[in-house]
Amino acid sequence: MRYTLILLNIFISIFFVACTTQKSLDEEMIKNTKSKSYVSKKSILGDKKVTVGSIEYVSLPAFNLTYKAKIDTGATTTSIHAFDISEFEKDGKKWVKFKLDDTKGGLIEESLPVERVVHIKRHGVENQERYVVKMQLTLGKTTQIIDVSLTDRTKFKYPLLIGKNYLHGHMIVDVSKKFLTSLDEK
């Protein structure tokens, strides 16, 4: 019995440290994305999942942008159209500078820390390296900070592709519908 209590205390201590560390990381990420709004990594709707269509409006509050986005349950990671992508070092860490279309014919230049670099193997064309950064995205009533890969999506109709890393546990996709959420649901 005493051994069980000791193990329970150790588990609670580790859990507390992990939660505190994650909270600090989340607060730092919110600060880094220039957003002052509350960000939830869990759906604010509890266990109830939101049904979304195959195309939805998604906002990037830190950049004051809203894009039409393709919802893709086959894509592992969310990706966004970015160009003039270049890596640099800041405070001993990898960062990436890139440009986004502001949807009004202009450009927005941003810089974010690199989370990781993914290597995409493609058949019949050159393999590709993509930088992955953390971004805050809002779809309907759900706001999350997730990994987003930066890539050239000029050949695609939609500049933003929402993947499973945003959808999982929060959303159900009805591919026969479009625009089931509204921008002012927040």
Q: Where are the domains of the chain?
A: 50-173
CATH classification for the domain delimited by 50-173, as one of 3.40.50.720, 3.40.50.150, 1.10.1660.10, 2.40.70.10: 2.40.70.10
Distance separating alpha carbons of residues 89 and 105, to the nearest angstrom: 30
* pLDDT above 60: residue 66: yes
- When the pLDDT of each residue in the chain is averaged and rounded to a whole number, the result is 81
Q: What would the pLDDT profile of 135-172 be if each residue is shown by its tens digit? A: 999 999 999 999 999 999 999 999 999 999 999 999 99
* pLDDT above 60: residue 40: no
Determine contact, residues 55/68, Cβ cutoff 8 Å: yes
Global model pTM greater than 0.75: no
